[in-house]
Amino acid sequence: MTRKTVLLIALSLLVTGLVAYAQDLEQPQEADSASTTRIQNGAGQRGFVNSLFFTMQYGGGVMLSTGGGVAFFDNVVRPELLVGYTPSGQFQDLSLSAKLNARILGIPAGESVGIFGTIGTNFTFFSSDNRIVSSAFLAQEVDIREILGLPTVSLYIEEHVFFVATEEGNVVFQLAIGTRVSLF
């Protein structure tokens, strides 16, 4: 593992822990504020594990990827596993990604809609050259609750910064769009 990868993992774990700790400090005082906190965080229920979700994403280093994950701490921390495919280019063929997302900002836009800012890290194994590539990303998410009989449907845009040596340089920017569907 390179020094950049280790620093990226350490930074993402630190930020994730700080965000989760800050959420624990904001204990609701009344029953009404508890439901408001869940709406602001996009959580379906209180407790350690909030939801199980499936993700489909286009772009972000891999042409098309799909997978799933679990949301913890009022839907603030979300680890994901994704399987993807890229038909051409330097990193063509199959890939396996591990992502860690942490929500850092939430703005309620109504009773069933929320807008969120997320940071995270992504580690992708590309089968074409047996290499792991790391990236950091910022995401903007829109959560719509109780639509189509599902607890939450999220639409998001992620701006990835990949740390990989290419002909153009050592940093590659990629944009990804996707959807996340919670099962509970």
pLDDT digits (tens, 9 = 90+) for 120-143: 999 999 888 888 888 899 999 999
pLDDT digits (tens, 9 = 90+) for 46-78: 567 888 999 999 988 888 999 999 998 878 899
| Pairing status of strand 49-59 against strand 131-147 | unpaired
* pTM of full prediction above 0.75: no
d(CA 176, CA 92): 17
Tell me the two tokens of residue 32.
């009404």
- 114 Cβ contact list (under 8 Å, min separation 6): 39, 40, 41, 42, 106, 107, 108, 142, 143, 145
Tell me the two tokens of residue 5.
């990868």
Structure confidence at residue 11 (pLDDT): 61
Structure confidence at residue 108 (pLDDT): 86
Structure confidence at residue 162 (pLDDT): 85
- Among 39, 41, 70, smallest CA distance to 54 is for 70
Tell me the two tokens of residue 142.
């829109």
Q: From residue 127, how far is each of 8, 15, 42, 53 by CA, in Å?
A: 22, 30, 35, 25
Task: Considering the domain delimited by 3-182, tell me its CATH architecture.
Answer: Beta Barrel (2.40)
d(CA 80, CA 30): 33
Most confident of 8-12, 58-62, 68-72, 171-175: 68-72
- Among 118, 134, 129, smallest CA distance to 55 is for 118
As a residue count, the chain comes to 184
Domain ranges of the chain: 3-182
What φ, ψ does residue 19 adopt, rounded to 5°?
-65, -45
Q: Which range (4-18, 40-54, 143-157) has the least confidence?
A: 4-18
| Mean pLDDT (whole number) for 89-115 | 88
| Mean pLDDT (whole number) for 146-152 | 86
d(CA 61, CA 86): 9
- 33 Cβ contact list (under 8 Å, min separation 6): none
